[in-house]
């Protein structure tokens, strides 16, 4: 399936149906009176957040979405049928932005349905205007127009761990080793052109890793693939930063990625980060020890080592990631419980 993480679409809810002017005319019944029914309500624009979907590709070839208009009223005091809603299926993690792609209107994190635009109300038929002083009204309402607007859909994948690093740092190899994901793996840069998700099982628990396309120096200015995919790291609990141990300047590699994360902003540099020297099977032990010490001094944080090819050290890295993931989940549960308690207190 092709990957698409942002698009611009036009939405319009249905207009309300018109009421009608009608009078009851039956044999042997004098002064039947007005019987024009009300118009039906226009359809809503509904967003359905679904699981097991991680792309907005359905919106690539269709950008205009309109709900059905309400049906007109009928005689014999019959109201028109309501227009059908239009339902847009989007993956969890989708943000709905304004037309300028600057303000978040709705942040859709959990599965469920949200009414984005409400349909217009139907107009009144002439039976609604009957009164003691106006026994035969000859007016009816035209129905209210629906809402319309251009919006941007922007997907930020929901993953527990964000996998970052320079091109050819071994991210795809690592992901294929620890999950059933099958990303493209080759001995040249930029084999990953779109984010890849993998589910990891360890210690009878599971978490999701998002492998992002490799960053290079100047990505914040549009070099390489740019930094557009870094938005998918914003929801992650922890970042796993892989550094190729065969590089001469491992500290420089680390600083390049940290610089791009800082240039992107959105609090990415404040997230917990696990530094890992990868490809240790291709580096002599003495050289690896020196590079690890240099990186530890520069980053002022622990540095782990592993080999994505041989699997050496991989389980230790996964265990360290699981600690951060569980901490983030505990905080999220506490916030949900506190929110539920506040809502219960207000309702009671």
Q: How many CB atoms lie within 10 A of CB 340?
A: 10
Rounded to 10 deg, the angle between the 285-299 and 250-264 helix axes is 30
Domain boundary among 155, 185, 219: 155
Specify whether 184 is located in the same domain as 124.
Answer: no
Rounded to whole angstroms, the Cα distance separating 20 from 139 reads: 8
- Do both 91 and 235 map to the same domain? no
Q: Please answer whether residues 283 and 246 qualify as being in contact, where contact means their C-beta atoms are separated by less than 8 angstroms.
A: yes
Q: Give, in order, the Cα–Cα distances in Å from 142 to each of 37, 270, 303.
A: 12, 56, 70
Is there a domain that residue 348 lies in? Answer: no
**Residue 166 and residue 91 in one domain:** no
Domain assignment present for residue 202? The answer is yes
- Does residue 343 sit within a domain? no
Structural domain contains residue 345: no
Kindly state the tokens that stand for 211. Answer: 């492998």
Nearest partner of 276 among 201, 184, 180, 209, judged by Cα:
209
Contact 129, 178 (CB under 8 A): no
Which of 121, 155, 189 is the endpoint of a domain?
A: 155
**Which residue shows structure tokens 């309702």?**
347
Same domain, 7 and 117: yes
Q: Has residue 342 been placed in a domain?
A: no
Say if residues 172 and 211 touch (Cβ distance below 8 Å): yes
CB contact at 8 A, 19 and 126? yes
CB atoms within 10 A of CB 263: 15
Q: How many CB atoms lie within 10 A of CB 180?
A: 10
Asked whether residue 225 falls in the same domain as residue 125, the answer is no
Residue 341 lies in a domain: no
C-alpha dist (Å) from residue 157 to 48, 102, 115, 341 = 16, 19, 22, 29
Distance (Å, rounded) from C-alpha 59 to C-alpha 46? 15
Contact call for residues 109 and 96 (beta carbons, < 8 A): no
Q: Are residues 98 and 178 in the same domain?
A: no
How far is 231 from 240, CA to CA, in rounded Å? 15
CA angle centred on 199, ends 186 and 296, rounded to 5°: 70
Neighbours of 248 (CB within 10 A): 7
**93 assigned to some structural domain:** yes
User: Same domain, yes or no, for 150 and 188?
Assistant: no
Count of domains for the chain: 2
Residues 140 and 228 in one domain: no
Q: Are residues 319 and 250 in the same domain?
A: yes
Q: What is the CATH number of the domain that holds 235?
A: 3.40.50.300
Give the C-alpha separation, 274 to 242, whole Å: 8
CATH number, domain with residue 11: 2.70.210.12
Tell whether 190 and 135 lie within a shared domain: no
Residues 28 and 69 in one domain: yes
Q: Are residues 144 and 210 in the same domain?
A: no
Q: For each of the chain's 348 residues, which pLDDT tens digit applies?
A: 466 778 999 999 999 999 999 998 887 777 778 999 999 999 999 999 988 787 888 888 899 999 999 999 998 889 999 999 999 999 888 889 999 988 889 988 888 999 999 999 999 999 999 988 888 899 999 999 999 999 999 888 778 888 888 887 888 888 888 887 665 554 544 444 567 778 888 888 888 888 877 665 554 455 444 456 777 778 888 889 999 888 888 899 888 888 888 887 778 888 888 999 998 888 899 999 999 999 999 988 888 999 888 888 889 999 999 999 898 889 888 888 888 888 888 876
pLDDT digits (tens, 9 = 90+) for 70-122: 999 998 889 999 999 999 999 888 889 999 988 889 988 888 999 999 999 99
HSE-up of residue 33 (Cα within 13 Å, Cβ side): 11
Among 132, 155, 178, residue at a domain's last position: 155
Show the domain range for 194. Answer: 161-336
Asked whether residue 346 is domain-assigned, the answer is no
pLDDT digits (tens, 9 = 90+) for 217-256: 554 455 444 456 777 778 888 889 999 888 888 899 888 8
């Amino acid at each position: 399936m092709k990957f698409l993480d942002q698009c611009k679409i036009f939405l319009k809810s249905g207009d309300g149906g018109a009421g009608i002017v009608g009078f009851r005319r039956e044999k042997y019944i004098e002064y039947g009176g007005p019987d024009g029914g009300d118009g039906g309500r226009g359809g809503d624009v509904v967003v359905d957040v679904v699981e097991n979907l991680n792309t907005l590709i359905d919106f690539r070839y269709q950008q205009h979405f309109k709900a059905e208009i309400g049906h007109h009223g009928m005689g014999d005091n019959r109201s028109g049928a309501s227009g059908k809603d239009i339902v847009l299926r989007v993956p969890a993690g989708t943000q709905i932005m304004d037309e300028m792609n600057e303000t978040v209107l709705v942040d859709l994190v959990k599965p469920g349905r949200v009414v984005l635009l409400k349909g217009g109300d139907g107009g009144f038929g002439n039976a609604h205007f009957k009164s003691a002083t106006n026994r035969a009204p000859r007016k009816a309402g035209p129905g209210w127009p629906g809402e319309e607007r251009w919006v941007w859909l922007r997907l930020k994948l929901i993953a527990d761990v964000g996998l970052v690093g320079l091109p050819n740092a071994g991210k795809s190899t690592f992901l294929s080793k620890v999950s059933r994901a099958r990303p493209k793996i080759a001995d040249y840069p930029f084999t990953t052109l779109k984010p890849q998700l993998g589910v990891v099982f360890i210690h009878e628990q599971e978490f999701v890793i998002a492998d992002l396309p490799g960053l290079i120096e100047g990505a914040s200015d549009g070099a390489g693939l740019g930094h557009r995919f870094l938005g998918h790291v914003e929801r992650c609990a922890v970042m796993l930063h892989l550094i190729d141990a065969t590089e001469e300047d491992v500290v420089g590699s680390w600083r390049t990625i940290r610089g791009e994360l800082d240039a992107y902003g959105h609090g990415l540099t404040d997230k917990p980060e696990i530094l890992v020297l990868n490809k240790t099977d291709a580096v002599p032990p003495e050289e690896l020890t020196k590079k690890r010490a240099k990186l530890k001094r520069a980053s002022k944080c622990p540095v782990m080592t592993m080999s994505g090819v041989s699997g050496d050290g991989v389980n230790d890295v996964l265990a360290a990631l699981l600690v951060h993931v569980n901490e983030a989940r505990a905080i999220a549960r506490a916030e949900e419980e506190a929110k539920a308690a506040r809502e219960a207190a207000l309702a009671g």
